[in-house]
Amino acid sequence: MTQTLDNQQGRNIEKVVLGERPLRAEELVAVARRGVPVELGENARKAVGASRDHVEVLARSDQSAYGVSTGFGALASTPIDVESRDALQLSLVRSHAAGSGHEVEAEVIRALMLLRLQTFTTGHTGVRLSTAERYQQLLNAQITPVVYEYGSLGCSGDLAPLAHCALAIVGEGRVRTAEGSLLDSGDALRNIGLAPYRLEAKEGLALINGTDGMLGMLVLALHDLTLLLRTADIAAAMSVEALLGTDRVFASELHTIRPHPGQQASAANLRELLAHSEIVASHRGQVCTVVQDAYSLRCAPQVAGAVRDTAAHAEAVARVELASAVDNPVVLDDGRVESNGNFHGAPLGYVLDFLAIAAADLASISERRTDRLLDPARSHGLPAFLGASPGLDSGLMIPQYTQAALVSEMKRLAHPASVDSIPSSAMQEDHVSMGWSAARKLRRAIDALTQVVAIEVMTAARALELRAPLKAAPATSAVVEAVRAEVPGAGADRWLSPEIESSVKLVRNGTVLAAAEEVVGSLV
């Protein structure tokens, strides 16, 4: 479904050690996308061992403890005898591995498994050290359980996705190898010298009761947005320049009097990107007859800035979650095992939905600029649809249709999932977050935003060339040159899908951003 973006953050990470401090976002991305190996720190090993000691005592006692000596969900009042408590854990994993639909992307599953392992290392879940090591072994061998898209309500954790991961360590279900081959998990385990694993008291519950899927997808989305936001500023600068817009509205003193941090950052980028442009200079002062530019040009930093500030809020939520232990029940430091509601995905669901809204609006303003570039009534002298021979040639008319279709889809994806709740488990679980669903649609929205921004870059690059002999700014000229290395310029009509695909690739792999930053330094 989605493809990853090449944000260079965390590229120098060679391994990730868990349990010494909270997991960092860039470490998660390194493990999920690049297969960086994972180690368990000494503090993690001690914490896991200490919490397991408490569970062992409880598992042999007559004390009632949810998921240890009782059933689950609506069956929480059903006692389980001591001899059946280990079997209860395997039964739980099997019954909850009930996902359906398309396979989830490997990077999401790896992120999910890493986060579950991170929670084990907090010493609040009560799993054995060997259980934590089994997840470590699968991650490092790049054996990825097959997880399906539907099955999580985002409350009591991402139950079905996590259960499919747990199923893999007991030698059931299917997995993908590092090469992408589909195998029965028992065969995959034997290939790396491991036998199917036997779960003991509480472990099945600890393996499936977390918000790891939705958190993993949030972190990956935020990682991609850091690249996309800077690239969107580049696209905006190119369009402003090509449309003979003014750079005066990006002056720092205008943004100081409404000092949203994201807005100030975006305006600063636009100033840098448009510096020394002959095109912008050509219509300054008395020669300029346009009193005000359209909102899609003039308000670019306000919109892109608001997206930045939304992402900053989401990052703050993610940092808290990355430092959290999500399980039910949890083992407290004094040895008590207590039920709780920390598995509820509301904190994540809200920001996942919020980001989808922000991404849709950023795509919307990008599409409006593209449309303006193509309309001779509003483009200040550019040929209709930037065609070589308007009338005979349709130019870039239809890429804007593609943008419009993507933006329309993003608006539908912006409908919040977190306002929905369908009760489950015989009304025991009567309010759920739908955070997993919010995360899935955000991934689609990020992918669509990448395509929308790429089409604006492609369109604006052609428009800037049509302003010759006036020269574009050094930064935007560098971007045009990078685009031209892969995408032909103006000419007779031709098959455009490959050119759109190439433009998307240039945005996705960071080429567009790198070209601009080679001139102006790092954008913010």
**CB-based contacts of 189-195 (< 8 A; 24+ apart in sequence):** 189/143, 192/137, 192/141, 192/143, 194/134, 194/137, 195/171
Mark whether 31 and 116 lie in a shared domain.
Answer: yes
For residue 253, which phi and psi values (nearest 5 degrees)?
A: -65, -25
Question: Which CATH number belongs to the domain containing residue 22 in this structure?
Answer: 1.10.275.10
Decide which of 210, 230, 260 is a domain's last residue: 210
Mark whether 159 and 248 lie in a shared domain.
Answer: no
Q: How far apart are the first and last CA of the chain?
A: 29
Neighbouring residues of 225: CB distance < 8 A, sequence distance ≥ 6: 307, 311, 355, 359, 446
- Dist CA 117 CA 110 (whole Å): 10
CA angle 148/152/155 to nearest 5° reads: 160
Amino acid at 164: H
Nearest to 373 by CA among 236, 195, 503, 209: 236
Question: Pairing between strand 182-184 and 174-176?
Answer: antiparallel
Cis peptide preceding 469, ω within 30 of 0: yes
Looking up tokens 């346009």 gives: 290
DSSP letters for 39-103 = EE-HHHHHHHHHHHHHHHHHHTSS---TTTTB--GGGTTSB--GGGHHHHHHHHHHHH---EEEE
Q: What is the pLDDT of residue 4?
A: 56
Mark whether 173 and 221 lie in a shared domain.
Answer: no
Beta bridge partners of 175: 145, 183
For residue 352, being part of any structural domain is answered with no
For residue 4, being part of any structural domain is answered with no
DSSP letters for 95-142 = HH---EEEEPPHHHHHHHHHHHHHHHTTT-S---HHHHHHHHHHHHTT
Residue of 66, 135, 197, 350 with catalytic role: 66
List per-block mean pLDDT (blocks of 10 residues) for the chain, which spans 524 residues.
Answer: 56 92 97 98 96 89 76 72 83 95 98 98 96 98 98 90 97 97 97 96 93 98 98 98 96 98 98 98 77 93 98 98 94 91 94 98 98 97 95 96 98 96 82 94 98 98 97 98 96 96 98 98 98
Mark whether 200 and 242 lie in a shared domain.
Answer: no
Q: What is the pLDDT of residue 429?
A: 81
Contact predicate 502/457, CB 8 Å: no
Mark whether 489 and 504 lie in a shared domain.
Answer: yes
Contact predicate 211/343, CB 8 Å: yes
Q: What is the pLDDT of residue 157?
A: 84
For residue 333, being part of any structural domain is answered with no
DSSP 3-state assignment of 410?
A: helix
Within 13 Å, how many C-alpha atoms sit on residue 504's CB side?
19
Tell me the pTM. Answer: 0.95
Decide which of 210, 244, 264 is a domain's last residue: 210
Which letter does DSSP use for residue 448 in this model? H
Q: What is the pLDDT of residue 70?
A: 75
For residue 345, being part of any structural domain is answered with no
Looking up tokens 């303006």 gives: 372
Mark whether 202 and 222 lie in a shared domain.
Answer: no
Contact predicate 209/156, CB 8 Å: yes
For residue 437, being part of any structural domain is answered with yes
Q: Look up residue 252 and give its two tokens.
A: 């720092």
Q: Look up residue 233 and give its two tokens.
A: 């500023």
Mark whether 224 and 150 lie in a shared domain.
Answer: no
- Dist CA 223 CA 218 (whole Å): 9
State whether the Cα torsion 380-384-390-395 is positive or negative: positive
DSSP letters for 186-230 = HHHHHHTT-PPP---TTHHHHHH-S-HHHHHHHHHHHHHHHHHHH
Q: Which domain holds residue 449?
A: 217-325+357-421+432-520
Mark whether 232 and 202 lie in a shared domain.
Answer: no
DSSP 3-state assignment of 146?
A: coil
Mark whether 51 and 34 lie in a shared domain.
Answer: yes
Mark whether 456 and 314 lie in a shared domain.
Answer: yes
- Dist CA 340 CA 330 (whole Å): 8
Q: What is the 3-state secondary structure (H, E, C) of 358-396?
A: HHHHHHHHHHHHHHHHHCCCCCCCCCHHHCCCECCECCC
Q: What is the pLDDT of residue 7?
A: 57
Mark whether 20 and 118 lie in a shared domain.
Answer: yes
Active site residue 150: no
Give the torsion through C-alpha atoms of 384, 390, 394, 396, to 10 deg: -40
Number of domains observed in the structure of the chain: 2
Q: Look up residue 75 and give its two tokens.
A: 């069956």
For residue 344, being part of any structural domain is answered with no
Amino acid at 327: D
For residue 166, being part of any structural domain is answered with yes
Question: How many CB atoms are closer than 10 A to CB 371?
Answer: 17
Q: Look up residue 355 and give its two tokens.
A: 């980001």
Decide which of 187, 210, 233 is a domain's last residue: 210
Beta bridge partners of 79: 70
Question: Which CATH number belongs to the domain containing residue 290 in this structure?
Answer: 1.20.200.10
Mark whether 142 and 170 lie in a shared domain.
Answer: yes
For residue 9, being part of any structural domain is answered with no
Question: How many CB atoms are closer than 10 A to CB 288?
Answer: 12
